[in-house]
Amino acid sequence: MLKKTTVNQLSDLASALMEKGTLVAPVREDAGFQFREITDAKRVDLNFHNTVISPKSVFFPQTEDFVRYRTGRPMQEAEPVEPQGKPLILFGVRPCDVKSFEIMDIHFSGTGDVDPYWQARREAAAIIGYAFDLGAPAEPEEFYQTLGIGAADPEGSDIFMVRRGDDLLLKSITGKGEALLTGMGGLAGASADDEKFFDDTVAAGRDFKTRFTCVDAEVITKKLEDLFHNTDFWEKASNACLSCGVCTFACPTCYCFDICDETLFQQGTRRRVWDACMFTDFTLEASGHNPRTKVYQRLRQKINHKYSYHVRKYGVISCVGCGRCTRYCPVNIDIFSIVEEAMKA
């Protein structure tokens, strides 16, 4: 089903969606765009390229409480935090980020061990994807096409949006999307011409060039395995690396977390908090031993995990080419340039 509205009526669309569940959409903030829970429909803003932090934070927030307790009280009084399964609409997600959810599903529900917090939110969510603007060139940091992801791929979204001039075309992709679209007022029917435009955009999105040439995952994996002990290569690649956590935190497919007990006055919480393999204490063991004390070891781990171990273990590269790690790296390290260098090494 294809419906349409106009970008000028975006807040009406947002209001209609807010009646169906919690709406999470891009909003403009001091530091750029971020996905936020919407309380004021007028704040939804689609004039963005992509958000600073990826939408993984909607299903896997940076801080997630598991148990709340009072210090000094018996353990039986501790209260577990139940997973939240209230209807959620995630609006305006770029195709590469939509793809990241599928990769994250492997870890949070796909291997038999199910993370109830991730799963509850994921199942309760309807995803409304949004095609990149094919009229403008890709940003220099992006390389989703290299990884086989189109700029307007509707797969993975429940509803997919394409902008046509001042019109916003919305097409249901799944049954969930169809039900959502059917139940919404204020949308106009689309013409056959709109249908054609939508399909053409999806097709053109597959050929939309980002900056790297396509490479085979299996070839990269093998090459990185061969390079593991080439310390010179990894030291050179990591000379500039500050070993901070920007790349990890901005990444849509990084899923590592730490579980810690945090207390403020007597109120204690056992919670998980995002962690980053680039942090020195990520691998610090209780004995005091740290198997990855050097920056090159940590960067090597990061690259290998995404482009080598993950392929061997799960058959897919754990990267969607959104370019956030490169865009926000304080020293301009470009992750895929390192992979390209590795191919040449």
**Site residues (CB under 8 A) for another protein?**
29-32, 52-53, 62-63, 140-141, 236, 239-240, 242-246, 248-250, 258, 260, 262, 264, 271, 273, 276, 279-281, 295, 326, 328, 330-334, 337
Q: Taking the complex as a whole, how short is the minimal distance between the CB of residue 333 and another protein, in angstroms?
A: 6
22 φ, ψ (degrees, to nearest 5): -70, 125
Report DSSP letters for 150-163, one per residue: -TT--TT-SEEEEE
Q: Taking the complex as a whole, how short is the minimal distance between the CB of residue 244 and another protein, in angstroms?
A: 4
Compare residues 211 and 310 and give the one whose CB is closer to another protein: 211
Using only C-alpha atoms, what is the Rg of the chain? 21
Compare residues 94 and 211 and give the one whose CB is closer to another protein: 211
Q: Are 256 and 318 in contact (CB under 8 A)?
A: no
Compare residues 203 and 331 and give the one whose CB is closer to another protein: 331
246 φ, ψ (degrees, to nearest 5): -60, -50
Report DSSP letters for 82-116, one per residue: PPP---EEEEEE-HHHHHHHHHHHIIIIITS---H
Strand 125-130, strand 88-93: pairing: parallel
Q: Taking the complex as a whole, how short is the minimal distance between the CB of residue 84 and another protein, in angstroms?
A: 18
For the chain, the maximum distance between any two Cα atoms, rounded to a whole number of angstroms, is 68
Q: Taking the complex as a whole, how short is the minimal distance between the CB of residue 271 and another protein, in angstroms?
A: 7
Compare residues 218 and 262 and give the one whose CB is closer to another protein: 262
Compare residues 160 and 336 and give the one whose CB is closer to another protein: 336
Q: Strands across the sheet with 257-264, in order? A: 79-80, 63-70, 267-274, 257-264
Q: Taking the complex as a whole, how short is the minimal distance between the CB of residue 269 and another protein, in angstroms?
A: 9
- Cβ contacts of 230-237, under 8 Å, gap ≥ 24: 230/345, 231/296, 233/341, 233/342, 233/345, 234/296, 234/297, 234/299, 234/300, 235/296, 237/296, 237/299, 237/300, 237/303, 237/338, 237/341
Q: Taking the complex as a whole, how short is the minimal distance between the CB of residue 305 and another protein, in angstroms?
A: 18
Q: Taking the complex as a whole, how short is the minimal distance between the CB of residue 134 and another protein, in angstroms?
A: 21
Return the closest-CA partner of residue 210 out of 304, 284, 307, 138: 138
Q: Are 263 and 271 in contact (CB under 8 A)?
A: no
Compare residues 81 and 179 and give the one whose CB is closer to another protein: 81
Q: Where are the alpha helices (DSSP H) in the chain?
A: 10-18, 56-59, 95-105, 116-124, 175-182, 192-206, 217-227, 231-238, 246-250, 295-304, 310-314, 324-328, 335-344
Q: Taking the complex as a whole, how short is the minimal distance between the CB of residue 168 and another protein, in angstroms?
A: 29
Q: Are 121 and 58 in contact (CB under 8 A)?
A: yes
Compare residues 64 and 153 and give the one whose CB is closer to another protein: 64
Which two tokens mark 132? 């990149």
Compare residues 25 and 254 and give the one whose CB is closer to another protein: 254
Compare residues 199 and 262 and give the one whose CB is closer to another protein: 262
Q: State the DSSP code for 316.
A: S
Q: Taking the complex as a whole, how short is the minimal distance between the CB of residue 140 and another protein, in angstroms?
A: 5
